[in-house]
Structure 1
Amino acid sequence: MTDSLISYLSSDFVQAVAVVILTALVGRLFTAKGRLIWSVSHQYHYSMPRIDEKGRFPVRTQQIWIRNYGRAPLEDIEILLNYPPQHLEIWAPREYETKTITDNRLIVKVPNLAGNEFFTISMLDTFGELPAILSVRSKSGLSTFFNMAPQIQFSPWIKYLIWALIIVGAGTILYFIITFLITLLTPIG
């Protein structure tokens, strides 16, 4: 049984198929692609005193963080808001346009976003609630929402140590798998 399995796996056909599959996987892994992600990085509700000292009024702020997490540039980014906020600002300064469509929805269009580049949309409103983000997309498809939270930044030597341990661990696991397969496929006696 193991002799026929070894002869089948060592045949030219199986080796050619394995090379084609491996080449396709490596090509897909290393091909530059754009990947649009977004999150709400900041949101707050202030209760501000009026100048005439007759009560308070609400000030609501929100910041949307949009990033191309891939290496290839993205084109035609659109952020669809439920309605126009009282004030909207994009940082870092870049070309964009806004367009109000049916049902008073607001589209913010950004022409392109380079690999690993990001921008933020800050909104402010003193009358009511801020608009909901209905969708974020680019020419290549819909974006992915993710939760954003503060993270501790470790020193570089700790990061290098962690990566070294990951590589050593992966190499050890690969060694044990190869050793197990060789032991399994070696005929006894």
Structure 2
Amino acid sequence: MSIQILSDFISQHIKEIVSIVIPFIAWFLNVGIKAKPKLIWSSPHAFTFLINEPVYNDQVAQNQSACTGSIKVINTGRETAKNVELIFNFKPQFVNLWPIRKYTDSTTDDNRYFMVFDTLNPKEEIGIEILSVNRDLPSLLTVRSSECMAENVYFMWIPFVEPWKVNVARFLMLIGFSASLYGIIYALQFLLAVNP
């Protein structure tokens, strides 16, 4: 009985329902799936080496420390990110980039250190290795571009999966999605069918 009432309601008000749904679909197509940059960053590695070599400069110390850190910045979006800024708490002693890229850097009055890259293309990444000897590494405060703020994510090592296994999983998911979509359409046809 309730299915019949729902079916009658939908068939009587189908124009109103469509007029409400269409603007949401248009908004989703315009905003929801519009190509835009999306930046993520992570620090997958940091380590401190204790080196048993004395220091003979201003002060004598029996040990030295070398702190290393790794930072990855990736554009996972579908549009180029412009003016990508990395802001550190202070300037690192040594910086290495991979792949090698041109960037501009500057230091503010309160010793914040800025690295600015002109662009970061979709699916492109920047690897930054920093090294400090006998001092701490600077913290990466924020990563941003003209279009968005980067999200700090955690990286995790996972085992390599053969491409054929990934393709089989994608195929099975496509079949499952298609079957679900078919089931929804079939159920809507059943609900909207006018019974004699």
Matched, 1:163 2:170: yes
Work out which of the residue numbers 44, 47, 52 in structure 1 matches 2:50.
47
How far, CA to CA, are the matches of 1:51 and 1:3 in structure 2?
87
Matched, 1:63 2:66: no
Indicate the residue corresponding to 1:118 in structure 2: 125
Indicate the residue corresponding to 1:8 in structure 2: 13
How many matched pairs? Answer: 186
How far, CA to CA, are the matches of 2:103 and 2:164 in structure 1?
40
Structure 1 stretches of 5 or more lacking a match?
none
Root-mean-square deviation (Å): 2.2
> Residue by residue, what CA displacement relative to the aligned partner does 1:19-54 show, whole Å, maximum 9, x if unpaired?
4432432343542211111000221111123178x8
CA contact (8 A) 2:97 2:128 kept: yes
Indicate the residue corresponding to 1:38 in structure 2: 41
SS in 2 for 1:141: coil
Structure 2 stretches of 5 or more lacking a match?
56-60
SS in 2 for 1:32: coil
Runs of 4+ in 1 over 6 A off after TM superposition: none
SS in 1 for 2:154: coil
How far, CA to CA, are the matches of 1:47 and 1:127 in structure 2?
10
> Residue by residue, what CA displacement relative to the aligned partner does 1:75-115 show, whole Å, maximum 9, x if unpaired?
11111101111111222111111111132111111111111
SS in 2 for 1:24: helix
Query: Identity percentage over the alignment?
Result: 24
> Residue by residue, what CA displacement relative to the aligned partner does 1:109-147 show, whole Å, maximum 9, x if unpaired?
111111111111110011211011111100012110100
Indicate the residue corresponding to 2:146 in structure 1: 139
| Farther off after superposition, 101-110 or 177-186 | 177-186
1:75-90 correspondence to structure 2 within 5 Å: 75-90=82-97
How far, CA to CA, are the matches of 1:149 and 1:178 in structure 2?
39
